[in-house]
Amino acid sequence: MRFKILLIVALILVACRKYPIDEVGQKNPTSSLEEGMFVLNEGLFQHNNATLQFFPKNGSSYNYFEQVLGRPLGDTGNDMKAYGEKLYIVVNVSSTLEVLDLKSGKSVKQISMTTANGPKQPRFLAFYEDLVLVTCYDGYVDVYDTNHLQLQRRVKVGANPEGISIFQNQAYVANSGGLNFPNVDSTMSIIDLQTWSERKLVVGPNPGQVVAADNGRIFVIARGDYASVSSQLKYYDPSSDQVYFYADKVSAIEKMKGQMLVCYEGSGNKQLALFQPELSFSPQSFLSLTDYTTFYGVQYSSNDELVYTFDARGYVNTGLIRTYNLQGDFLASFETQIIPTAIYYHVP
């Protein structure tokens, strides 16, 4: 989905307008970070307007980097995850990995992800023991230790890797080849996290998102060409070492308490549905997406037991996040800055 934005962004830049940061907010980090929600907004490609908003449980939202850390986040925020007592934020075009301390709310380190050949263009995060793994568009997975935040190794994978997921001692990486469009990659790399050896399996053209189910099935979305070749949901079974077709016209997948949420087009309408990963694809309706302008993703938050959906609303307007309970009942909605892409609900 996100690579498709890079294809069309040149057509919409003339219509773009920047939105001001929230006016209410503190100027300096407090001694401890209060309860509330971080929202990563991707911003527009090459506009340097990615933002990290904070929505306190009680109070008004504010642009965290601008108003608390005193600097902009950068260009194109792609991923955000908490691990241990740190929050990790991938900023793709700026080629940085931002790390925040979740106790104090202060910046721990900004890691510049570049080589002598240029920016690595990091994309997505996964964690294993005391390591954080970051896919990089230059064809590698970077591995940092989470204690000292030093680069430990680079593992060569396929072209323009994106999604990454870890199950037991294996990392699964989707090699999109998106920058070579329409000559995309079609493989998923499997990295042994004990030996750091890598091998590839063919999973379909332009793979993007990868999610490991609790039963060991590795689900991957092969996005096709966004036109004549539709997106497909496949799964890899480690026990047979084979890849199987699972469902057609799938654009997003998210794990939720042992089940899977999936965005797909069924009966002519785009919807979110639930399915059991150990069974054949027989989705149960969760919620309709007919009221969404530009559905951009879904995320389950275990900290507050809610489902969050992201509406990019045409990619040039303020975004919208909707919240639902685990039965798919609508609870609330709130506006964000441009292209919301990830949340983290912080409980001290």
Per the rule left: phi > 0, alpha: psi between -120 and 50, beta: everything else, 214 is alpha
Of the pLDDT bands very low, low, confident and very high (cuts 50, 70, 90), residue 341 is very high
Q: Is the model's pLDDT at 199 over the cut of 50?
A: yes
HEC states along the chain?
CHHHHHHHHHHHHHHCCCCCCCCCCCCCCCCCCCCEEEEEECCCCCCCCEEEEEEECCCCCEEHHHHHHCCCCECCEEEEEEECCEEEEEECCCCEEEEEECCCCCEEEEEECEECCEECCEEEEEEECCEEEEEECCCEEEEEECCCCCEEEEEECCCCEEEEEEECCEEEEEECCHHHCCCCCCEEEEEECCCCCEEEEECCCCEEEEEECCCCCEEEEECCCCCCCCCEEEEEECCCCEEEEEEECEEEEEEECCEEEEEEEECCEEEEEEECCCCCCCCEEEEECCCCCCEEEEEEECCCCEEEEEECCCCCCEEEEEEECCCCCEEEEEEEEECEEEEEEECC
Q: How far is CA 39 from CA 119, 168, 185, 191, in A?
A: 25, 29, 31, 30
pTM of the model: 0.89
pLDDT at 281: 86
Please choose, from the candidates 91, 3, 76, the residue with its C-alpha nearest in 3D space to the C-alpha of residue 45: 76
Q: What b/e string do you get for 267-293 counting C-beta neighbours within 10 Å, with b at 16 or more?
A: eeeebbbbbebeeebebeebbebeebe
Spatial CB neighbours of 305, under 8 Å, sequence gap ≥ 6? 325, 326
pLDDT of residue 7: 43
Per-residue pLDDT band at 19 (split at 50, 70, 90): very low
Residue 189 above 70 pLDDT? yes
Out of 194-198, 278-282, 295-299, 334-338, least confident range: 278-282
| pLDDT recorded at residue 31 | 60
pLDDT of residue 60: 85
pLDDT score for 12: 36
Under the banding of pLDDT at 50, 70 and 90, the label for residue 32 is: confident
Average pLDDT taken over every residue of the chain: 89
Q: Of residues 279 and 340, which shows the higher confidence score?
A: 340
Q: How many CA atoms within 13 Å lie on the side-chain side of 283?
A: 22
- Asked if the peptide bond before residue 29 counts as cis, ω within 30 degrees of 0, the response is no
Confidence of residue 59 (pLDDT cuts 50, 70, 90): confident
Q: Which amino acid is at 3?
A: F
Alpha carbon separation from 331 to 195, 202, 318, 327 (Å, rounded): 46, 41, 20, 11
In this predicted structure, what is the pLDDT of residue 26?
41
Q: Which residue has the higher pLDDT, 32 or 129?
A: 129
Q: What is the pLDDT of residues 276-333, one digit of tens each?
A: 998 888 889 999 999 999 999 999 999 999 999 999 999 988 999 999 999 999 999 9
Query: Which residue type occupies 157?
Result: V
Residues 37 and 331 sit within 8 Å (Cβ to Cβ): no
pLDDT band at 263 (very low <50, low <70, confident <90, very high): very high
Query: Is 174's pLDDT higher than 90?
Result: yes
